[in-house]
Amino acid sequence: MPSRLHAVYARLVPRIRRAGEMTGDEPAERARVEAWHRTLDRSLPTSAVPRFARHWSVVTEEVAGFPVYVLTPRRRAPTRTVFYVHGGGFMAPISAWQVRYAVRLADAIGARVVMPDYPLAPEHSWRDSFGPITDLAARWAAEPGGIVLGGDSSGGGFALAVGLALRDRGGPQSTHLVLHAPWVDLTTSTPETDAYDEVDPWLFKGKMRTYAQWWAGSPDDLGRPEVSPGLGDLSGLPPALMLYGTRDLLAPGCRLLVRRAAAAGWDLTAVETPGLIHVYPLLPYLPEARVAFEQTVEFLR
């Protein structure tokens, strides 16, 4: 049974994130999001990380016109890299929660963090960042210790798509994949999606389909493995851990990934937790998140 704190988060997080279904048509939503983008401070948000500057140094690289943050622990030399792709429906920037999670994980396994701040939809599609981010991941995968390729929500799907591309290139791959409620099927072909729309307090079907169209850029690209990696060839991928709850609109896609992984012979460990909301492992102080974190660290060790 979900904890009391989880029940609080299930009420408050959607309010804090101003979650809600689209109130107008696609052009109105596009105008709203583009106007919001013009107000954004795109610097790395570190407010959720206690004494961040004392423990981490940040170098900002520019890749194909967008920033990539390299976070290195000050007090010990990293032995590997967490290459973390942030979620947010492909239209929201890096959040403080995502930075907090990435550095906690990196600290637990003796790693640095590489976090690309990729261009957002609707102004941009996958074509504007996928190749450069895959090149970047390949470069870090060749470094000592390799990379743990991870992400949450849309970032989890992006990370999986990069994993597929690295496999197809035949060079260095990630050592592991860590996926938190990844968005892996932007076609929303799983029939259970409508039912989950009724129980998820945070994600909404209309927005999901609109944002998927923006990220794909073209209806013909929705099913491509770079956009919907859950529909691609999953054979030959590194071991992976996927964690998700059942009050999540993306749960049907996660279950689809489990079925397709089994058919492909991919070593995917899936942890489905009843009653929990979207990307619950990233929520601060949540008992269920603490369990998920311990499971993740054990998997990576």
Please determine, for residue 227, whether its predicted confidence score (pLDDT) is greater than 90: yes
Q: Do 215 and 121 touch, CB atoms closer than 8 A?
A: yes
Please determine, for residue 190, whether its predicted confidence score (pLDDT) is greater than 90: no
Residues composing the chain: 301
What is the structure's pLDDT at 188?
82
User: 202-211 pLDDT, tens per residue?
Assistant: 999 999 999 9
Give the Cα separation of 266 and 237 in Å (integer).
6
Nearest to 256 by CA among 188, 190, 187: 190
User: 129-186 pLDDT, tens per residue?
Assistant: 999 999 999 999 999 999 999 999 999 999 999 999 999 999 999 999 999 999 999 9
Mean pLDDT of 62-86: 97
| Residue 32 binned pLDDT confidence (cut-offs 50, 70, 90) | very high
What is the structure's pLDDT at 19?
85
Please determine, for residue 14, whether its predicted confidence score (pLDDT) is greater than 90: no
What is the structure's pLDDT at 16?
82
Q: Which residues contact 221 (CB under 8 A, 6 or more apart)?
A: 125, 126, 227
Give the Cα separation of 120 and 124 in Å (integer).
5
> What single DSSP character describes residue 192?
T
Percent of the chain with pLDDT over 90: 92
Please determine, for residue 17, whether its predicted confidence score (pLDDT) is greater than 90: no
Residue type, 289: A
For 211, the token pair is 């944002």
| Residue 261 binned pLDDT confidence (cut-offs 50, 70, 90) | very high
Please determine, for residue 215, whether its predicted confidence score (pLDDT) is greater than 90: yes
| Other CB atoms within 10 A of residue 105 CB | 21
State the sign of the Cα–Cα–Cα–Cα dihedral 67, 73, 76, 78: negative
Q: Which element (helix H / strand E) includes 114? A: strand 111-116
What's the mean pLDDT when you consider all of the chain? 96
State the sign of the Cα–Cα–Cα–Cα dihedral 133, 134, 136, 137: positive
Q: Do 121 and 211 touch, CB atoms closer than 8 A?
A: yes
Please determine, for residue 193, whether its predicted confidence score (pLDDT) is greater than 90: no
